[in-house]
Amino acid sequence: MTTEPTRILFVFAWLVVGGEETEVRLLAKALDPSRYRIDVVACFRKDGMPEQTHRQLEALGIDVDRTPYDLSFEDTVAYLAKKVAAYDVVISSQNVADIYPALERAHLRPPLIEHGGLVSEALAGPKHFTNFYVGVCRSIRDAAATHMPGREHHSLVIPSMVELSAFNPAGRDATRTALGIAADRPLIGWVGRLDRKKRVEDFIEAAAIVHRELPEASFLIIGGPDAFMPDYAEDLRSLAARRGLLPTTLQFLGDRDDVPRILPALDIFVWLSRGEGMPHVVAEAGAARLAVIATPDNGALEQIEDGISGLFVPHEDPPAAAAAIMRLAGDAQLRARLGDALHRKVAADYDVPVVVEKWQRLIDEVVAERAAAPAPALFRSFYQGGFECSTHKLRNGRRLDIIASSEHDRNAVEDYQQLAGLGMRTVRDGLRWHRIEQQPGRYDFSSFLPMLAAAQRSGTEVIWDLLHYGWPDDLDPLGPHFVRRFVHFAATAARVVREESDAVPFYAPVNEISFTAWGGADAASINPFARGRGFEFKVQLARAAIEAINAILDIEPRARFVHCDPIINVITDPRRPHEFGAAEGHRQAQFQAWDMIGGTLWPQLGGSPRHLDIIGVNYYSNNQWIHGGPPIDLGHPLYRPLHRLLMETYGRYGKPLFIAETGIEFERRPDWLAYVGDEARLARLKGVPVEGVCLYPILNHFGWDDDRPCQNGLLEHHREAGGRRMFAPLGQELSRQQSLGPLSASSKCIPGVRHDAIPEAATVSR
């Protein structure tokens, strides 16, 4: 059995060329892609920062999210708060200032591992969300531990890794030839970003001293300017020129993506920093079997044993560094002995397989400790039935009434009782506004009262849709009187329910605001058959829902409100990456109605968190598609598992949610329910309070446009002595799902296991 890979989000303050960037790149190359998937987001970019790491990560298939580059700090925090929810673990490097504010806002907070390469990073910022702090050396680990009282053991060391096999000495002569350096000339190098704490000026001063004594020696500085101190690079060039080292004795090579090829061409590596963590380049020099001269700086003390695997010189002492260079330049045996010893150290402690195993254990541990959602308690039953109750008009003028055409209105008691016998004590059903208010302001609830009585008689809890695509004939849904009329109708219905029942009522004020607005006022596929007015209609429907909630709460303060809309995923075609903005804009539009009701978008409508009570997500097999292309189904490499969509949705709103609609046609029905049930359990295991799954429609019905019999329900039209005939395979799968419970693992349809059993052609019908 396989499961979906653990999703890991690396959050960087910025992407340059350094140890942290190399670590994630090597980790992505080494981790089993069937078990782990890494994405990267960088929060800031400054002119002058190299693109090298972006290209290297993307070449490995890693998604590098650059969205924050165009955002303010506040907007980046808001963006991350929504993004992190869909991940199993977040790893934050470089003391990212944005991550803690984002986690404070996130309603679904994944485990956090902080990764620090400097003591100053370990000492900065809070640690209350940090599950583990990983320092690249002991001094960083110990610094972090001082800020984690009572859980110092959650601060640990995982050193930076090196891909030992990448450092091949066979290309030494070719590399020297390319650099214009003779094979017999001593070649001394330095590698890194041109950052003042790395004390590159000491290397240049030492080179000048050596040059006077050993003019045949050559020197390389490999690395580009630090974008935060570009003047430092110019200062170094000026210093080298003043010391007479340019252009022949010393070369500035800038940023290179072939460091593993260049290092074996050196004879000596020099590193003279003050205030570094664990210099990754020292381990790389060891991988290349180089003799290393270094200052005794934090992590270097863990990498090098003086006189055994390298030579230490005092800080800020170029003459001492020059003397060490001269000593090594004249003693090939010493160089070989030091280089071999450091190579053994790197192979034992820093090689990729050694370090990756530590990361893997840590990631598995924090993911396993993630708390599951509490037991479902919102509804009477976890598995529910939804009665299709569309009442809109078709383009030919005919009005649909699926409750009537499915004969549910005449058989409500029997339908509810049959579902109760199957363990489904909660259902979705609807009022038919066009029947109740056939004249403005005059109400006849005779079409509704028998259904309300049937619910009470059978002990069924009903979520009542007040507006399911249809409204009275005389109303223009885009007109000025629509909201007032709907609010009055909703309030009147609430009074009727309160008078007839003592139960806490559940209402869905306006079903599928986003779909209704798109279909009715952009695509012109349902009434009112408009185009170019989709957002206007969405605002109108959201305002109607908000004001209806206010009116209902004035009558019944206990009322609960469900807001149902499709959750979707819009994919950018990899062949058209320039369409990402359009695809992502379309995807983000799915949240607009909920944002309006919750008061975060268009707050002048009066929405608030109180109005956004319960989220109902509607999900079918065609809810994911390529922008400008076809739907994608299970098994497609770009398909996003349902539980990730649920994680994202809950992460945005922090509200209880349920799958308010799901289903499919024909023989695929049992497999689809198995998939949805497993995904709901996975989401709950990751902390999402999924409160139920509603099979929708529960009854087969006639198609909207062609009256064809849609085989998409559990129950059929045909009635027998014990109720409606049941599609047995789906009934058996429902029973199996109910027996598993909301947190049990299933062996039937874990993502990746049975996708081949589901035909591509089947889609939901309406």
pLDDT per position as a tens digit, 267-288 = 999 999 998 888 999 999 999 9
CA angle 351, 357, 359 (to 5 degrees): 100
The pLDDT of residue 444 is 98
Domain 6-161+355-369 identical in fold to domain 383-740:
no
DSSP-H helix ranges across 94-229:
99-105, 119-123, 138-145, 172-179, 200-213
The pLDDT of residue 721 is 84
pLDDT-derived band of residue 743, with 50, 70 and 90 as boundaries? low
Contact predicate 158/359, CB 8 Å: yes
Asked if the model's pLDDT at residue 765 lies above 50, the reply is no
Give the separation between CA 388 and CA 695, rounded to whole angstroms. Answer: 10
pLDDT digits (tens, 9 = 90+) for 40-76: 999 999 999 999 999 999 999 999 999 999 999 999 9
State the DSSP code for 544.
H
Q: What is the pTM of this model?
A: 0.91
Give the separation between CA 364 and CA 113, rounded to whole angstroms. Answer: 12
Beta bridge partners of 135: 116, 157
Beta bridge partners of 461: 426
The pLDDT of residue 454 is 97
Topology, domain 164-350: Rossmann fold (3.40.50)
Contact predicate 553/501, CB 8 Å: no
State the DSSP code for 584.
H
Give me the amino acid identity at 605.
L
In this prediction, residues 476-496 reach a mean pLDDT of: 98
More confident residue, 748 or 496: 496
Asked if the model's pLDDT at residue 738 lies above 50, the reply is yes
Contact predicate 14/49, CB 8 Å: yes
pLDDT digits (tens, 9 = 90+) for 577-595: 999 999 999 999 999 999 9
Q: Which CATH superfamily is domain 383-740 in?
A: Glycosidases (3.20.20.80)
pLDDT digits (tens, 9 = 90+) for 310-325: 999 999 999 999 999 9
pLDDT-derived band of residue 4, with 50, 70 and 90 as boundaries? confident
Asked if the model's pLDDT at residue 763 lies above 90, the reply is no
Numbers of helices and strands, H then E, in the chain: 27, 27
pLDDT-derived band of residue 748, with 50, 70 and 90 as boundaries? very low
pLDDT-derived band of residue 741, with 50, 70 and 90 as boundaries? confident
In this prediction, residues 488-503 reach a mean pLDDT of: 97
pLDDT digits (tens, 9 = 90+) for 342-370: 999 999 999 999 999 999 999 999 999 99
Lowest average pLDDT, out of 121-130, 525-534, 723-732, 742-751, goes to 742-751
The pLDDT of residue 308 is 98
Asked if the model's pLDDT at residue 742 lies above 80, the reply is no
pLDDT-derived band of residue 702, with 50, 70 and 90 as boundaries? confident
Asked if the model's pLDDT at residue 755 lies above 50, the reply is no
pLDDT-derived band of residue 734, with 50, 70 and 90 as boundaries? very high
Contact predicate 354/30, CB 8 Å: no
The pLDDT of residue 276 is 86
In this prediction, residues 144-165 reach a mean pLDDT of: 96
Average pLDDT over the chain, rounded to an integer:
94
CA dihedral 749, 751, 754, 755 (to 10 degrees): 130
Other CB atoms within a 10 A radius of the CB of residue 80 amount to 27
SS (H, E, C) 319-373: HHHHHHHHHHHCCHHHHHHHHHHHHHHHHHHCEHHHHHHHHHHHHHHHHHCCCCC
The pLDDT of residue 757 is 31
3.30.450.20, 3.10.290.10, 3.10.105.10, 3.40.50.2000: CATH of 6-161+355-369:
3.40.50.2000
The pLDDT of residue 275 is 87
The pLDDT of residue 703 is 86
Going by C-alpha positions, the residue among 293, 302, 228 that lies closest to residue 267 is 293
Concatenated DSSP letters of 61-124: T-EEE-GGGGS-HHHHHHHHHHHGGG-SEEEEES--TTHHHHHHH-SS---EEEEESSHHHHHS
Give the separation between CA 309 and CA 313, rounded to whole angstroms. Answer: 14
303: exposed, middle or buried (Cβ count in 10 Å: 0-12, 13-18, 19+): buried
pLDDT digits (tens, 9 = 90+) for 602-640: 999 999 999 999 999 999 999 999 999 999 999 999 999
Residue ranges per structural domain of the chain = 6-161+355-369, 164-350, 383-740
The pLDDT of residue 766 is 44
pLDDT digits (tens, 9 = 90+) for 202-251: 999 999 999 999 999 999 999 999 999 999 999 999 999 999 999 999 99
Give the separation between CA 218 and CA 188, rounded to whole angstroms. Answer: 6
Contact predicate 535/517, CB 8 Å: yes
The pLDDT of residue 717 is 86
Asked if the model's pLDDT at residue 699 lies above 60, the reply is yes
Asked if the model's pLDDT at residue 38 lies above 80, the reply is yes
More confident residue, 759 or 371: 371
The pLDDT of residue 707 is 82
